[in-house]
Structures are given as structure tokens and as C-alpha cells.
Structure 1
Amino acid sequence: MLSSVGDANRYYFDQAARVTAIRLATEPGIDAHLSINFMPNAVYKQQSCIRATMEAARIYGFDPERLIFEVTEAEKIDDRPHLRRIFDEYREQGLMRAIDDYGEGFAGLNHLIELEPDLVKIDLNLVRGVDRHRSRQAVIRSTALLCEEMGIRLIAEGVETREEFETLRDMGLSLFQGYWFARPGFESLPQPNMP
């Protein structure tokens, strides 16, 4: 399906994906946050875009304060001031904002400074094998310190082994996601593997 998304329909695809995610998140009836990856190059007018998202949350009874909007660092941003306006609008609406795939992409530290996210998700390529790689540990440790000083919560994504989890936990991280905890399911809740 993604191969059929282009410049002409990117905005509509982004909107439809948001509404579907909100609808599906309400069906299990659990009280959790919902992360929505958005395509910054597809969001033309942040006010109208967020209005549709807030309307979907209202229709399906999803508390908008539990929405987290993630921009991936792996996507090259065509208009950085525009992305900042999007993040500012989300902040004004009381929504959480996150940088996904941190350490993988185009902006790095500039994203932290310019966007002032609530959350940063460390890219799985930095997490992979962190228990055996001192250089990865050093990068994650320094990123954790930087985020702490900036008031940003840090999430390690792509945790697949007990050793990765324990190493990251021992480094002071407290938020994780990855196959070690649960495998994703299509339109279903994953079965957690609680370490």
C-alpha cells in the first residue's frame, strides 16, 4: 500500500492513518498512550490537520492527552521551519511530541534543539547489541544525560534480548519497546513477555 502513496495523496493517507489508529486504539478499552508517526512533508496546514485528529479522538472517545505524535529522524525534512510550527501547534494543543529513530537520520542534535520534543526514541541500530559494544553504550549514556538536562524522556526502541534490556536498565533508562517485551500484532493487542 505504501508504494501507492505519492505527493498527490500523501496528506490524505496521513489523515486516514491517524483516524484508523485512533479508532483501533479505542476498541480494546485500555488506558494507554497512542503513538502516531506522522509524515512532516505531508502536513500542509497544521491547524486543520490537528483539527481532524482531535475530531477523531472526540468521535471515538480517545483522550487526546494520550496521543504522542512522532516524527522520524530517518526522513529528510524539506521545510524545517514548517516542522517546528507543527510541533509548536501540537504543544499548544497539549499533545506530546516525539522524535523517532534518533541517531539514524538527518538532523541529530538540531532536532532536539529546534523541536523541543517531550520524548526521544533511540534508534534500534544503536540499541542492537548494546550489551557488547562500549561505543554504543557511550552514545546512549551521553544521549540520556543530554535528554535529562533538557527535560526530555528517553525510550530505547528495538530491545530484543534480556542482555540489551538489562544493560540499558543498568544505564538508567526506564522506558523501552521491542520484541523482548512483546511482538506487535495486526489489529490486536500483543501478548507481553514481562521480564
Structure 2
Amino acid sequence: MQFPANIKQQTCSDCLSGQDLGFQIRMAFQPIIDWREKSIIAYEALVRGPNGEGAGWVFQHINDDNKYYFDQACRVKAIETAARLGCKTFLNINFLPNAVYNPETCIKATIEAADTYGFDLTKLIFEVTEGEQIPDKAHLNRIFQSYAKRGFQTAIDDYGSGYATLDWLIELKPHILKLDMQLIRNIDKNPAKQFIVERTIEQCELQGTRVLAEGIETKEELEYLTSVGIRFLQGYYFARPELEKLARLAEIQGLN
């Protein structure tokens, strides 16, 4: 795995300014629901462009030369914005494992950001998406282990849509597994999807990994997922991501 030769130690101001990207980034937040407690347990930080452009627009501007700076900038911006908005729950931050050349070095800007903006480090959850090609499972395992030693929680995002299999789940042992929306869509009427999800739940229970279903859009999907014991939920059914805003509990749909 190779990284640009000009990588330097980042400070919060470097990453927050976006100067190494050539454009500003902002953050939208989508709540994650604890169905049992009928509460908001976390917010996922989702990158947006300077005028609120979607993640697709942002990633069109990311390449091998600025991937490292982008990963660092997203972490810092997520923490800075969440702290400014008064976030007291867990904060889910997506990261690019292929942009992490050394877990111990690359976490420094994150720790500095939390200290600078007064955000509780123990409330950070790092998500790795299945959408990124990860040729080196051992490298990702080192990242997960390093983060766990520091007290951070880790999550595999978009499970069921990309590289990860039960073997990955067993070896990486994330704290949280997020079921991809493609598995969730119309799951109430799809026995094949139900089989995959229920088998995955069984393995997660064996190893102590919490299951989170994302991309929920209908009452029927919600009813099936809660019937098989999934407690943590996310999706448009409850709330859409909002730019630089944390949805309040009273604004969440479908909790009654």
C-alpha cells in the first residue's frame, strides 16, 4: 500500500480548512435509533460539498493524491461540527482504510480535534464502508485493533453489498455491523434476504457484535427487523440526513 510522498503531519487547522483538498467540506447528520429505548443513540456524519452537494459530488473530487487529506479532514470536520451543534450521543464517522498508512499516526489529528473542540473521544465510532476496495484484510485488522486499544468503537458499514463475508465478520470482530439498505429493501417479503440477515444476526450474537439495520424506508421493513431482534435502526423512515443539524427526538418519525 503506497501513499503520496508529501504526506505531512496534520493539525486540526490544516484538516479543517480543506486547503489540501482544494475545496471546503461540510457535514450532514442522520440519527441512529435505539428501538428498545425509543431514543437517539448516535448520529452518523455524512460528508457534503461546500453548498450542500451530496457525497457523490464530493467523491468525484477525491483521488489518490488527496485521499489521505480527505480522510483526515472528514474526521476533523465531523467532530468540529458535532461539538458545535452540542452532540452528546455517539458520533459515527466514516473512514477510508486505504488512506490510513499507519493507524497510530493517522489518529493524531482526530485526537487533537476532540481535544480542541471538547468532544468526548469515547463517543467516537469509526465505520468502514464495503464500497471501498480493501485488498489487505490484515491492514484493516490492524486499524481495528489499534482503535479498539484506544477505546474507539468500530463498525463495518454496508454489510451485504461488497467485499465482506462472514469470514471477515468473524476475523475483524467489529463492535457494530451495519446491514446494507439493499438487504433491508423489501425484506419483509423476501425469504432469501431474511435467511441472510438471520444467519448474520446469529453470528453477531455469538461474538458480541451489535447489529444495526440502515436504509429503512417502510413500516413493513421496520416490523420485520424488530421482530427478529434488531434494536438499532437508521433510515429515511425515521429521518433524513440534515446539513449541519442534529435531529431532535421529537422530530423523529415512527417511534410510537
Distance 1:18 1:52 in 2: 8
- 1:158 deviates by 0.4
Q: How does 1:150-189 map to 2 (within 5 A)?
A: 150-189=207-246
Q: Name the counterpart of 1:192.
A: 252
- 1:99 deviates by 0.3
Q: Name the counterpart of 1:89.
A: 146
1:117 aligns with 2:177: no
Distance 1:145 1:79 in 2: 26
Paired positions, count = 195
Distance 2:144 2:160 in 1: 19
Q: Name the counterpart of 1:72.
A: 129
- The answer (yes or no) to whether the contact 1:147–1:153 under 8 Å persists in 2 is yes
- The structure richer in strand per residue is 2
Distance 2:60 2:86 in 1: 32
* Matched letter for residue 2 of structure 1: F
Distance 2:164 2:98 in 1: 15
Give every structure 1 segment of 4 or more consecutive aligned residues whose post-TM-superposition deviation is greater than 3 Å.
none
1:102 aligns with 2:162: no
Q: What is the TM-score when the length of structure 1 is the normalising length? A: 0.96
1:165-191 superposed Cα distances (whole Å, 9 cap, x missing partner): 111101111110000111111111234
Stretches of structure 1 that go unaligned for 5 or more consecutive residues are none
SS in 1 for 2:158: strand
- The answer (yes or no) to whether the contact 1:73–1:108 under 8 Å persists in 2 is no
- 1:78 deviates by 2.7
* Matched letter for residue 213 of structure 2: A
- The answer (yes or no) to whether the contact 2:170–2:207 under 8 Å persists in 1 is no
Distance 1:151 1:67 in 2: 19
Higher RCO by CA contacts (8 Å cutoff, separation 6 or greater): 2
Indicate which of 12, 19, 44 corresponds to 2:69: 12
- The structure richer in helix per residue is 1
User: How large is the RMSD of aligned CA atoms in angstroms?
Assistant: 1.1
Q: Percent identity?
A: 49
Q: What is the TM-score when the length of structure 2 is the normalising length? A: 0.74
SS in 1 for 2:99: coil
Distance 1:78 1:10 in 2: 16
